[in-house]
Amino acid sequence: MGQLVHTLPEGEPVAGVTLLAGEIYLLRWKERDQVEVYDVITYRLQRRLTVPNARHFTDMTSCEHSRCMYISDNDNCVHRLDVQGAVTRWAVNHSPEGLSVNAVHNVLVTCPRVRKINEFSSHGDLLRKLTLPDDVIRPLHAIQTRSGQFIVCHGGAADPVHRVCMISADGRQIVHSHGGQPGSGTDQYVVPVHLAVDDNEFVFVADRLNRRVTLLSPTLEYVRQVASRDQLKGEPWRLYLDTRQRLLYVAVSEYEEGGLRGGYAAVFSV
């Protein structure tokens, strides 16, 4: 089990968490000052940034190479926010969900409704579209490994299959998978919503409705639980792994009838 080392303040629901240039960026659902910036050592709030013309955030990731963050928005777009605070945006046609950055510094945007992964340059040029296999229903997040394969989690609350899959570089074949029918067993998930992958290609999975984070081997075999429902005061929605410090940041929000009501970020030593 991972050790809980710190929690960032509770407040509005959290849509994403990432690190950039020695600072923690926390994305909240609110009209202004949506991005809270914390010192990575002291965890003290440094400043707040506003993303203009935002509608409904779904994820956030960062790129040290490009010195910026990317924020997906259900308003069919991705916002690019650089460390100086400048914001630009580009269109994504199909309700973007999960975001990640691959080894060549391009942005991968997962679009659940059409089962696609769209790859963009840092400034929003569409480079390619991958259509995932038919049985990958409602993909929520994808990460590309150094070998070019994709780790994808899929399955919404009403879907019959909830899995984590390794998919070939061309997007056509499932190489390995973990999960199946929804449930609470060690080989089951209920909405595996987000992923993080370490330098050895071990996979961390945010299992949202089971309220836990699971660790899988590079071939997607169960290893252990990293964070339990006893450690998380809500549902884990987003992950970020600091591979150098072996710290896992978990964006946690609490769902009640009518929507999300609040959230925070938990930091685990893994």
| Res. 257: pLDDT tops 80 | no
Percent of all residues in the chain with a pLDDT value above 70, rounded to a whole number:
99
For residue 191, what pLDDT is reported? 97
20-27: long-range contacts (C-beta < 8 A, 24 or more apart)?
A: 20/62, 20/63, 20/64, 20/67, 20/68, 20/69, 20/83, 21/64, 21/67, 21/83, 24/249, 24/265, 25/60, 25/62, 25/69, 26/251, 26/265, 27/57, 27/60, 27/71, 27/251
Mean pLDDT value of segment 232-250: 96
| Res. 89: pLDDT tops 90 | yes
pLDDT, tens only, 206-220:
999 999 999 999 999
For residue 218, what pLDDT is reported? 97
Under a CB-based contact definition with an 8 Å cutoff, are residues 165 and 176 in contact?
A: yes
Of 78, 74, 260, 110, give the one whose Cα is nearest residue 192: 110
**Level-2 CATH architecture, domain 3-269:** 6 Propeller (2.120)
User: What pLDDT band is residue 233 in, cutting at 50, 70 and 90?
Assistant: confident
Q: Looking at the whole model, is its pTM more than 0.85?
A: yes
For residue 127, what pLDDT is reported? 97
pLDDT, tens only, 115-170:
999 999 999 999 999 999 999 999 999 999 999 999 999 999 999 999 999 999 99
For residue 1, what pLDDT is reported? 81
| Mean of the per-residue pLDDT values of the chain | 95
Mean pLDDT value of segment 73-100: 92
Mean pLDDT value of segment 23-42: 94
Percent of all residues in the chain with a pLDDT value above 90, rounded to a whole number:
89
For residue 66, what pLDDT is reported? 95
| Res. 99: pLDDT tops 80 | yes
pLDDT, tens only, 43-55:
999 999 999 988 8
User: What pLDDT band is residue 258 in, cutting at 50, 70 and 90?
Assistant: low
